[in-house]
Structure 1
Amino acid sequence: MTTRERAQTSLSLWRVAEAARFGWREYAANLPPAATIFATIPKGVLQIVFFTVLGGVVAGEHHTQYAFVGGLVIALTTTNTVNVINVPFGDKYHATFWRIRTGDMPVAAVLYARAAPYLAVGFGLFLIEATIAAALLGLTNLGLHVLPWLPIFALMACGYALLGIAAATLTIAKRADVLAPNLLGYLTILCSGAFLPPDKVGWIDTIGSVLPVRHGLAAVHAGMAGRPWLAEALLELTICLVSAVLGLFAVAVQTRRATRHGHDDFA
Structure 2
Amino acid sequence: MTSLDTAAPRSLPVWRAAEAARTGWLEYRALQTPAGLLGATLPRGVLQILFFTTLAGVLAGPGHREYAFAGSLVLALSGTNVNGVVAVPVLDKQYATFARVRTGALSPTVTQIARALPYPVMGWLLLVVQGAIAAPLLGMTDFALRLLPWAWVYALIALTLSVLGLAGATMTVGRRADVVAPNVLSYLVMLCSGAIVPPGRVGWVDAIGQVLPARHGLDAVRAGMAGRPWLGDLGLEAAAGAGFTVLAALSILVQARRASRHGHDDFE
TM-score (norm 2): 0.96
More displaced, 16-25 or 93-102? 16-25
Q: Which AA in structure 1 matches 2:121?
A: A
Cα distance in 2 between the residues matched to 1:4 and 1:79: 43
Q: Secondary structure of 2:264's partner?
A: coil
Cα distance in 1 between the residues matched to 2:125 and 2:149: 16
In the alignment of these two chains, the number of paired residues is 267
Equivalence for 1:58: 59
Cα distance in 2 between the residues matched to 1:122 and 1:164: 13
Q: Which AA in structure 2 matches 1:84?
A: V
TM-score (norm 1): 0.96
Q: Which AA in structure 2 matches 1:111?
A: Q
Cα distance in 2 between the residues matched to 1:105 and 1:144: 43
- 8 Å CA contact 2:82, 2:186 repeated in 1: no
User: Are residue 208 (structure 1) and residue 231 (structure 2) matched?
Assistant: no
More displaced, 256-265 or 3-12? 3-12
Equivalence for 2:145: 144
Equivalence for 1:247: 248
Cα distance in 2 between the residues matched to 1:40 and 1:19: 25
Q: Secondary structure of 1:196's partner?
A: coil
Q: What residue ranges of structure 1 are gaps of 5+ in the alignment?
A: none
How well do the aligned residues superpose, as a CA RMSD in angstroms? 1.4
CA shift, 1:36, in A, is 0.7
Equivalence for 2:97: 96
Deviations 1:156-208 (A, max 9, x none): 11111112101101111111111110000000000000011011111100010
Cα distance in 2 between the residues matched to 1:202 and 1:4: 59
State, as a whole percentage, how many aligned pairs show the same letter: 52
- 8 Å CA contact 2:121, 2:158 repeated in 1: no
Cα distance in 2 between the residues matched to 1:81 and 1:173: 18
Cα distance in 2 between the residues matched to 1:173 and 1:225: 45
Q: Which AA in structure 2 matches 1:6?
A: A
- 8 Å CA contact 1:168, 1:180 repeated in 2: yes
Cα distance in 2 between the residues matched to 1:56 and 1:234: 31
Deviations 1:4-25 (A, max 9, x none): 5421122222211211111111
Q: How does 1:99-178 map to 2 (within 5 A)?
A: 99-178=100-179
- 8 Å CA contact 1:170, 1:253 repeated in 2: no
User: Are residue 223 (structure 1) and residue 224 (structure 2) matched?
Assistant: yes
- 8 Å CA contact 1:153, 1:216 repeated in 2: yes
Q: Which AA in structure 2 matches 1:13?
A: V
- 8 Å CA contact 1:87, 1:115 repeated in 2: yes
Cα distance in 1 between the residues matched to 2:146 and 2:93: 42
Q: 1:5 to 1:150 in 2, by over 3 A?
A: farther
Cα distance in 1 between the residues matched to 2:82 and 2:256: 25
Cα distance in 2 between the residues matched to 1:204 and 1:234: 21
Cα distance in 2 between the residues matched to 1:248 and 1:102: 16
Deviations 1:129-158 (A, max 9, x none): 110011211111111111111121111111
CA shift, 1:81, in A, is 5.1
- 8 Å CA contact 2:120, 2:155 repeated in 1: no
Cα distance in 2 between the residues matched to 1:47 and 1:150: 18
User: Are residue 76 (structure 1) and residue 80 (structure 2) matched?
Assistant: no
- 8 Å CA contact 1:81, 1:123 repeated in 2: no
CA shift, 1:82, in A, is 3.0
Q: 1:29 to 1:63 in 2, by over 3 A?
A: same
